[in-house]
Structure 1
Amino acid sequence: MANHAPLNNVDHKNLRVVTTRGAAYGDAVMSALTFPAEFRDLQACYPIVFAQDGNGGYDALALLGFEPGENLFLGPNGWDAPTIPLTVERQPFMIGRSGEELSVHVDLDSPRVRDGGIEGEALFLTYGGTSEYLERINSVLRTIHDGLAASRAFVAVLVELELIESFVLDVELDDGSQNRLAGFYTINEDRLAKLTGEQLARLHDNGYLQAIYMAVASLAQFRGLIQRKNRANDVLR
């Protein structure tokens, strides 16, 4: 159960946060929420897909596994990829709002949080200033906040231009098992190729065209994800 509290240097002066990556710290997740400004970094490691958000829109996701609770990038030495999605890196912090003011909140019940001791990264300096680690978190949260806000307009244009389509991925693993990934969406490349010059210019002017191509390119990472699944199955056998 989450226990969110506005972060401050009086009540939380001794808090430290463990930055090690592992299932014990909540990293065993199948996907991570992402946004167009992050696509360029993530497409080199993860397939980027879309999922319905329940409100008629879509969320962009970096896929980390093929089933709930599976993160194929977790290994004995932590996270096995050079880039971690920002919505994963930010844990156990989130943005809270009081009226029009935004503030940093922390989940005090997170397994990452320590009250005192020497394990983990300090949040505050001896005399109350913010640590370099907390400055990084502040930057990450602001980037996520702005990125998710911009993502709504991006997705709206994709829907308007009918560029989102559902897809099914059928995979036969090395053990002979047949597996199907369904319920996700991707860019309709045929429809993209038929856009008019005016439509493409509009996408470019809004900064969306590169993000679209990054999402398309990221699908090549399914090969690597399947290889990781095969290796994980080998360990279990």
Structure 2
Amino acid sequence: MLQLLNNIDHKDLRVVTERGARWGDNVMSAPVIPEEFRKLQAHYPIVFQPDGCGSFQPIVLFGLKQGENLFLTEDGWTADYLPLSMQRMPFSIGIAGDELRMMVDMASPRIGGEADGVAVFMPHGGSTEFVEHANSVLCTLHEGLERMPSFVQALTTHGLLEPFTLEVERPDGSFGKLSGLSMIHEERLAALDAQTVGLLHQADFLYYIYMAIASMSNLSKLIQRHLSQEA
């Protein structure tokens, strides 16, 4: 139930900022934008998922099956960086003409009671630091999503996305399978001519590509976390 955020209808609104399954964090992946790849690559594998419209959306993996988030514990989220698409909850951007509007999902489990969570507005109606930060996150996401098509187009034009299938043998001898995702094709990247590499560099895409490649070292760590929970 999306509503336009305002200090009249939502003057007493509070949002839970803790992390846990009860607040909707039990997801195996989250969409991301290239501008946060550097922070993401220290913790999560960055892969590419078909968006249903003939293109791709970069995502990070938190687990290897639906509903599995291996970064959640009883103490909260264990990684130092939380993807912007997770940080923004329960807010989103609405567009009215040329104007961006901040929306709130009143059905979100993050909507707190009278004494739960962080206040969105101050008693006199002004915005709190919390909602100012949320607005900044939304603006960064919006700008990143606007630039996303040109980045993904460059990857597909040069054949730099390679589908992969991950099979994991569980302790009981059964196998788990993750498919339908793509990663950067390192051999094709290495084979690009100098002019193409230069163009990718000028567009800042080469940097993002290398961050995505570096992030794949986290896949083996994710597998080990998955297996330890399955044992």
TM-score past 0.5 threshold: yes
Aligned partner of 2:208 among 197, 207, 211: 211
Q: SS of 1:83's equivalent?
A: coil
Q: SS of 1:12's equivalent?
A: coil
Q: SS of 2:213's equivalent?
A: helix
Q: Distance in 2 between matches of 1:225 and 1:29?
A: 14
> TM-score normalised to the size of structure 1?
0.94
Q: Would the aligned equivalents of 1:46 and 1:64 in 2 still touch at CA under 8 Å?
A: yes
User: Which residue does the alignment assign to 2:60?
Assistant: 62
Write the deviation string for residues 104-155 of structure 1: whole angstroms up to 9, x where unpaired: 100111111125x221011111111110100110010001111111111100
User: Which residue does the alignment assign to 2:192?
Assistant: 195
Q: Which one-letter code corresponds to 1:100 in the other structure? A: D
Q: Distance in 1 between matches of 2:18 and 2:11?
A: 21
User: Which residue does the alignment assign to 2:175?
Assistant: 178
Q: Distance in 2 between matches of 1:48 and 1:172?
A: 22
Question: What's the CA shift for 1:175?
Answer: 4.1
Query: Which aligned runs of 4 or more in structure 1 are off by greater than 6 angstroms?
Result: none
What is the correspondence of 1:65-214 to structure 2 with a 5 Å cutoff? 65-115=63-113, 117-214=114-211
Question: What's the CA shift for 1:180?
Answer: 2.0
Q: Which one-letter code corresponds to 2:140 in the other structure? A: T
**Cα RMSD, aligned residues only:** 1.1
Q: SS of 2:8's equivalent?
A: coil
Q: SS of 1:180's equivalent?
A: strand
| Number of residue equivalences | 231
Q: Distance in 2 between matches of 1:177 and 1:83?
A: 33
Q: Which runs of 5+ in 1 are unaligned?
A: none
Q: Would the aligned equivalents of 1:51 and 1:59 in 2 still touch at CA under 8 Å?
A: yes
Q: Distance in 1 between matches of 2:63 and 2:120?
A: 31
Q: Which one-letter code corresponds to 2:78 in the other structure? A: D
